[in-house]
Amino acid sequence: MTQYPSTRKNAANMWRCDKCGLPIQDGHGTIELIDPETGEHPLGTSCLIIAYHRRCDPQPNRDAYWIRVERARGGEMLDWIEHLLEKPWFSPANAREFIRRYQDGMCTADGFKVYENAPKAGAQ
């Protein structure tokens, strides 16, 4: 049976760590926006979006534009997208990626991915 977020108790958006793949709990990680060429704070016309637990971050002292995971959920996530779209290095394609990453992390506190069985966009 397909279960959607509205029918799943205790569903929450949990960013997933790009290194270990586990959900990142509040206070335990960041979303980093980096330049694809330098790996540092974005300066060009695009950026990469990565999320790490503090313990998994291979470069914890990197000069990146970062957001604490607990500040990038729900309505605040939309506020961040609006703010980031004012930056020359954050494009509409980056905004779509940010939203996709947010949706991919939709899970319950125990890590169950709510969207695992949801139909793909455009599927009939």
- d(CA 41, CA 57) in angstroms, rounded, equals 16
Instruction: Tell me how many degrees the CA angle 91-93-95 measures, rounded to the nearest 5.
Output: 75
CB 5 within 8 A of CB 106: yes
**Backbone dihedral region for residue 100 (phi beyond 0: left; psi -120 to 50: alpha; all else: beta):** alpha
Structure tokens at 75: 């309505």
In this structure, what are the phi and psi dihedrals at residue 10, rounded to the nearest 5 degrees? 60, 25
Q: Where are the domains of the chain?
A: 5-108
Q: Between 92-104 and 74-84, two packed helices, what is the crossing angle to 10 degrees?
A: 160
- 118-122 LR contacts (CB < 8 Å, sep 24+): 118/2, 118/4, 119/2
Mean pLDDT by runs of 10 across the 124 residues of the chain is 39 78 91 91 88 93 92 85 93 90 65 45 44
